[in-house]
Amino acid sequence: MPATVSARPRFVTTTRTSPDATPQEIIAAARSAPAAAKPAVMLACATAIAMWASFTPVDFGPLGWICLVPLLALVRIERPTRRMYLATYAGGWLFWMASLQWMRLGHVSMYVAWFALATHLAMYWPAFVGLSRVAVHQLRMPFTLAVPVVWVGLEYLRGFLMTGFAWYNLSHSQYRWIELIQISDVVGAYGVSFVLALVNAAIAASLPEAWLQRFSLSPPGERAGVRGSQVADGPLTPNPSPPRGEGRTRRAIACLLVFAATLGYGYVRRHGIEFTAGPRVAAIQGNVTSEVKHDPEDWGDIYRRHEALTARAVLEQPDLIVWPETMFRWPLVNVPTDQSFDEIKAANPGVPLGDLRDLRVPKTLQQMAQKANASLVIGLEAWDADRSGLRPFNSAVLVEPERGIVQRYDKRHRVPFGEFIPLADVLPQLHKLTPFADGFGIAAGSDKTVFASRGWRFAPIICFEDTVPHFVRDLVASSPPLPPGEGSGVRAFRGTGVPPVVTGETPVPRPAKPLDFLLNLTNDGWFHGSSELDQHLITAAFRCVETRTPMVRAVNTGISAIIDGDGVIRRRAVDPRTGRSKQIEAIVVDTVPLDPRRSLYVAGGDWFAGLCLTACGLCTLLGLTRRWLPRRQVVRL
């Protein structure tokens, strides 16, 4: 009769057995002993190299479909290798150090931030392997389901944790495959990552067992689908799973169905879509390094260079001209009218408020708009000063020729260590790890803002705000509805001829959407023409697909561009002589292609990625429970 005993699970770290051990005990000890650490290191590094090459600067997207396969071999095997999680962490650290090398270009002290961020992000790799192993080997989830669920859940977590870092998601490697990425308007870019991880898992699950044995990951003679039984004594018995050939067939069919459905959706979603002609926008791209930008003696030269580019753009008769982030260097000073200016000056010693107010920045900007005979959106710093102190903001202002500054947006999502020092109030020593003096930082804006100019409605986003999926989605979803009577008919646009984005014989009615387009003002001058500029543009393209909203990007040093609602980069800054898009002075002028489609992702949010993260949480909870609680085992008497 069977009896039950309690035993803590343990790993056998050696194949030595007692002289009285039975053959079954010797076999069980050999098969449960962990493999050497070297194969784990090799596999983790192989994934790191392949994944790095799938992104810029190598930008070989097809590697995205196989880059996880080496790492997934560590998930597939039942027994862990020695130091498996340390090896996995090392592979993740190698990937992030190589991918984020552009961070060091801003300042010598940014080497610390580069190292710290890579050290933090590398933790997601062993977490992925560990949670996937719990799901597969303890909870008995199908391998090809557990892997993409855990991967997407951790990608989603990475986009939030510590203000979030939604760069280098697996989906970003496929930005050129326009039909494939259209699923982003249903479940976000995370849906594309899910499909990629699914294919990687299907390939990894189909690897011959002999390959794993060649890497010393699987004991000789062990076949796929064979596991140890839950008995204290006795021979290993087959796990109740379908035959190997049948299992591979099912995995292949399921993978093909998901892939075909995703690709088919993309073709259907793009078929027959006609973009409406929006405003004619000119994006100004200067070429100013960050060091020069912060030298007050060079502010006049920066202004004149952008003014000259604006004069070139005026020849194209744009409705709207956009300067990049903080490229108008003099601050816009605002003081409350109900407080004494002398009291405000006394509360802010060392700040030349009087001199700055005498610069008459609002008047200067209005005169610029009048000369251009166009609306302007200008990136600058805004200083709000009162008796309680000074609050600087990274801002964008809308300037109309007739009325001057009519609206202002203050950046809400700040960059850690770039625009504020986390925990600086608690740990003032953190300032010593940055190139900034005490008191460095900008205040965070609090309001979502939609600019309205000449009948067009567009939302400004500044710097890396366009890389945060939930931030942009929330902005589009919360845009105020159109006033009654708006949203029908065709709007006039300036210039001659029919814009190239208009299709068909007759004009297409303007989409009745509360937001016409997104407007990104960015300064990538910190990164000196590195791959960061390319990756920033790629990440922004996914925001357009997710929200079905086109975007205009005005970027210092590049890459300025106009992106449509399919994620197609329709126009980018290019030097006609060299073909370069980065570290050049240029203008990008085109008509914005308005998108009539709605987005389920905007309506529903990150429900899909949230479910994946919830599954990760359950795996963590159940994995810890099974690890630390006694396991009841059956003993055959």
Q: What is the tens place of the pLDDT at every residue in 84-122?
A: 999 999 999 999 999 999 998 887 878 888 999 999 999
* Inside any domain, residue 153: yes
Confidence grade of residue 30 (pLDDT, cut at 50, 70, 90): low
Whether residue 625 has pLDDT greater than 90: no
- Asked whether residue 243 falls in the same domain as residue 335, the answer is no
Which is higher by pLDDT, 422 or 551?
Answer: 551
How confident is the prediction for the chain on average, in pLDDT?
83
Q: What is the pLDDT of residue 372?
A: 95
Q: What percent of the chain has pLDDT over 70?
A: 78
Residue 440 lies in a domain: no
Shared domain for 317 and 219, answered yes or no, is no
Examine the domain organization and report whether 188 and 206 are in the same domain.
Answer: yes
Asked if 412 and 468 touch (Cβ cutoff 8 Å), the reply is no
Q: What predicted TM-score, i.e. pTM, was given to this entire model? A: 0.85
At 474, which CATH number? Answer: 3.60.110.10
E strand or H helix that includes residue 85: helix 84-99
Strands (E), 387-527: 389-400, 404-410, 451-453, 456-462, 517-523
- 266 and 283: one domain? no
Q: Measure the CA–CA gap between 372 and 508, rounded to whole angstroms.
A: 29
pLDDT value of residue 45: 96
Total residue length of the chain? 637
Question: Residue 417: left if φ>0, alpha if ψ -120 to 50, beta else—which one?
Answer: left
Radius of gyration (Cα) for the chain, nearest Å? Answer: 29
Per-residue confidence (pLDDT) for residue 108, from 0 to 100: 81
Whether 201 maps to a domain, the answer reads yes
pLDDT reported for residue 5:
44
For residues 231 and 298, state if they share a domain: no
Longest CA–CA separation in the chain, Å? 97
Least confident of 20-24, 224-228, 303-307: 224-228
Q: List Cα–Cα distances, 111 to 71, 108, 435, 505, 527, in angstroms.
A: 28, 6, 11, 56, 13
Q: Is 231 exposed, middle or buried (0-12, 13-18, 19+ CB in 10 A)?
A: middle
Nearest to 601 by CA among 318, 192, 219, 252: 192
* 344 and 475 together in one domain: yes
Tell me: do 250 and 321 sit in the same domain: no
- Identify whether residues 356 and 371 lie together within a single domain: yes
Q: Are residues 399 and 363 in the same domain?
A: yes
- Which pLDDT does position 36 carry in this prediction? 72
Q: Do 462 and 325 meet the contact criterion of CB atoms below 8 Å apart?
A: yes
* Residue 496 belongs to some domain of the structure: no
Does 370 fall in a domain?
yes
Q: Are residues 240 and 310 in the same domain?
A: no
Is 431 contained in some domain?
A: no
Domain check: are 303 and 327 in the same one? yes
Q: Give the integer Cα–Cα distance in Å for 595 and 110.
A: 40
Do residues 201 and 218 both lie within one domain?
yes
Range of the domain at 226: 8-271+607-635
Sign of CA dihedral 59, 64, 66, 69: positive
Local structure of 391: helix, strand or coil: strand
pLDDT score at 487: 46
Q: What is the pLDDT of residues 134-175, one digit of tens each?
A: 999 888 899 999 999 999 999 999 998 878 899 999 999 999
Number of domains in the chain: 2
What pLDDT score does 7 carry?
Answer: 44
Residue 468 has pLDDT above 80, yes or no: yes
- pLDDT of 336 reads 83
Look at residue 423 and tell me if it is in a domain.
no
Q: Which pLDDT score, from 0 to 100, does residue 86 have?
A: 94
Pairing of strands 569-572, 561-563: antiparallel
pLDDT of residue 632: 47
pLDDT over 90 at 32, yes or no: no
- 310 located within any domain: yes
